[in-house]
Amino acid sequence: MNATPIFKKVALIGFGLIGGSIARAARAQGLAGEIVTTAHSAKTRARVAELGIVDRVAETNAEAVRDADLVILCIPVGACGPVAREIAPHLKAGAIVSDVGSVKGAVVRDMAPHLPASAHFVPAHPVAGTEHSGPDSGFAELFINRWCILTPPQGTDPSAVDRLRAFWTRLGARVEIMTPDHHDMVLAITSHLPHLIAYTIVGTADELGQVTSSEVINFSAGGFRDFTRIAASDPTMWRDVFLANKDAVLEMLGTFNEDLSKLTRAIRRGDGEALFEHFTRTRAIRRGIVDIGQDSAAPDFGRPLANLTKEPE
């Protein structure tokens, strides 16, 4: 454990997958003198108190942020504006205010107008996650070797950016800085569109009349299963992501539809060469991701293999 705290008091608004993982990792690394958290419902707040990971569970967002040096909103993107308005009068002068939202342009637009000039606003997005949500889903290792993108508005105090960078680095992340618009374009293709495609395919399979639902489930290892993992992601979070990153997602969807038409044409015309060339190119992208350590090359995504049993004698 690294025992030098970067912040005296850290307030986490929201304690789900991301808030819970930050709390666990910050505690393990000794990054905060005190960690205070809160959540929307009394049920989650009670569960967080029971887990005993943080120093204190506050009843309200306003109470949580009081005297905090770092405040991180770990809540759905659509809730960031109203919560910024709610906490603004209670922020300590010089506090760093951040978030973890998967969309940055809309979050900056919704939060910035409410925050006092005495606070430093440094939006962030840890590009790490699972399909699970809620207070029990977090784990301290979530951010290790994953990217965290910071999108500080022009003119942000560089020392506030450096302190947040140091915090995320000690949670295990690699930190990159970019503009909110660029972030939203990159994430539209690397995260938002794949989720939309997974939600579509799983929905389509569900509606297929000629294939029974037991067949869809039994034969899912043919590829469908990997889409179902993504399509099991939190509905509130993803509704907000698509509403908030509408323009970039629609632009990427336009390009995607053109490419899908090209592959459709190749299949219709029996153009094996075009299909082979395309699949060879995409295979190289997968190899590149494994080579830089952003995924494992373990067969079948590292799922445990069952042993073959001997033929009965």
Task: Establish if 68 lies at the interface with ligand NAP (CB under 6 A).
Answer: no
Contact 66, 42 (CB under 8 A): no
Considering the complex, state which of residue 43 and residue 265 has its C-beta at the smaller distance from ligand NAP: 43
Task: Establish if 123 lies at the interface with ligand NAP (CB under 6 A).
Answer: no
Instruction: Please tell me the distance from the alpha carbon of residue 34 to that of residue 27, in angstroms, as a whole number.
Output: 9
Beta-ladder partners of 96:
70, 120
Considering the complex, state which of residue 21 and residue 29 has its C-beta at the smaller distance from ligand NAP: 21
Contact 74, 102 (CB under 8 A): no
| Residues written for the chain | 313
Tokens at residue 217, please?
């489930």
Instruction: Please tell me the distance from the alpha carbon of residue 108 to that of residue 241, in angstroms, as a whole number.
Output: 14
Instruction: Please tell me the distance from the alpha carbon of residue 75 to that of residue 240, in angstroms, as a whole number.
Output: 11
Task: Establish if 100 lies at the interface with ligand NAP (CB under 6 A).
Answer: yes
Chain-centre distance for alpha carbon 160: 23
State the number of binding residues for ligand NAP (CB under 6 A): 30
Among 1, 3, 4, 41, interactor with ligand NAP by CB under 6 A = 41
Task: Establish if 13 lies at the interface with ligand NAP (CB under 6 A).
Answer: yes
Task: Establish if 75 lies at the interface with ligand NAP (CB under 6 A).
Answer: yes
Task: Establish if 151 lies at the interface with ligand NAP (CB under 6 A).
Answer: no
Task: Establish if 152 lies at the interface with ligand NAP (CB under 6 A).
Answer: no
Beta-ladder partners of 148:
126, 175
Considering the complex, state which of residue 31 and residue 79 has its C-beta at the smaller distance from ligand NAP: 79
Considering the complex, state which of residue 26 and residue 39 has its C-beta at the smaller distance from ligand NAP: 39
Stretch that binds ligand NAP, among 13-21, 25-33, 259-267, 293-301 (CB under 6 A): 13-21
Task: Establish if 234 lies at the interface with ligand NAP (CB under 6 A).
Answer: yes
Chain-centre distance for alpha carbon 119: 25
Tokens at residue 135, please?
């207070």
Considering the complex, state which of residue 5 and residue 81 has its C-beta at the smaller distance from ligand NAP: 81
Contact 210, 181 (CB under 8 A): no
Task: Establish if 245 lies at the interface with ligand NAP (CB under 6 A).
Answer: no
What is the contact surface with ligand NAP in residues (CB under 6 A)? Answer: 13-19, 38-41, 44, 61, 74-77, 79, 83, 100-102, 125-126, 129, 133-134, 234, 237, 241
